[in-house]
Amino acid sequence: MAGIPKGWEMIRVTVVYEAGLLRAALEELLRCGGDFDVSSASHWPQRPIPGASVPDVYVVDAECLEPARAADRTATGRGALVALVPAQRPGVLRRAHQAGALGFVDKDGSKSRLLTAVRRAAKGDRFVDEALAAGFLAAAEMPLTQRELSVLALAAKGEPIADVAASLHLSEGTVRNYMASVIRKVGARNRVDAIRIAQGAGWT
């Protein structure tokens, strides 16, 4: 059964990281550090691919994960997910959680935590880096609604208010109200400040 390696088998791990050099470096770290069968890929399959061969564990840069759609929130048929998450970015942690991650490893942490997380995930067990605990609290308290996030994400791309309104089938006044609400909720001084704060936290 995928995800539960037999006693004598090596754990098959696939590293997913956008930048090739860092992908190679993480592969080397896993190869030197444990009895893993390591490969790499440029992206993590958001949906199960029928009939595709899957590793026991994916080690994925959480900053590359797309905000999950509810339909994708299942790990069935895809191998266990260990997410590498930067501290202080609760939105990224939230995306990893929504993607169904079993392991949450601090990007600023040690090699041994990653190895532990991979071994646990291969057995179907959870691992949460203690350095990320505060981030989980912040992620649970995400202040913005889905609609506010949509408005903010388009505004952050430099779309004028009229275009944001057209994209979301809203009036310009409604879009302005959402932006005002976002600015207030995140404690920003203006629109640019709100975008900066939301991007820093990884909400968009």
Given 25, 49, 133, 180, the residue binding its own copies (CB under 8 A)? 25
Please give the single-letter amino acid code of residue 148. Answer: E
- The residue (of 170 and 188) whose beta carbon lies closer to its own copies is 188
Say if residues 155 and 198 touch (Cβ distance below 8 Å).
no
Given 92, 151, 195, 198, the residue binding its own copies (CB under 8 A)? 195
Report DSSP state, residue 69.
P
Binding region for its own copies (CB under 8 A) out of 17-25, 92-100, 139-147, 165-173: 17-25
Given 26, 99, 139, 175, the residue binding its own copies (CB under 8 A)? 26
Given 43, 73, 126, 157, the residue binding its own copies (CB under 8 A)? 157
Classify 15 as helix, strand or coil: strand
| Residue 5 touches its own copies, criterion: CB under 8 A | no
| Residue 192 touches its own copies, criterion: CB under 8 A | yes
CA atoms within 13 A on the CB side of 40: 19
| Residue 180 touches its own copies, criterion: CB under 8 A | no
Interface with its own copies (CB under 8 A), residue total: 38
Site string for its own copies, 113-152 (x = CB under 8 A): -x--------------------------------------
Instruction: Tell me which residue has tokens 């600023």.
Output: 108
Q: Copy the structure tokens of residue 32.
A: 């030197």
Binding region for its own copies (CB under 8 A) out of 26-34, 69-77, 90-98, 133-141: 26-34
Query: What DSSP string runs through 75-133?
Result: -TTS-EEEEEE-TT-HHHHHHHHHTT-SEEEETTS-HHHHHHHHHHHHTT--EE-GGGH
H runs (alpha helix) in the chain: 20-33, 90-98, 111-122, 133-140, 146-156, 161-168, 172-185, 191-201
| Residue 22 touches its own copies, criterion: CB under 8 A | yes
Task: Give the interface with its own copies as residue ranges (CB under 8 A).
Answer: 18-22, 24-26, 28-29, 32-33, 84, 86, 105-111, 114, 155-160, 188-197
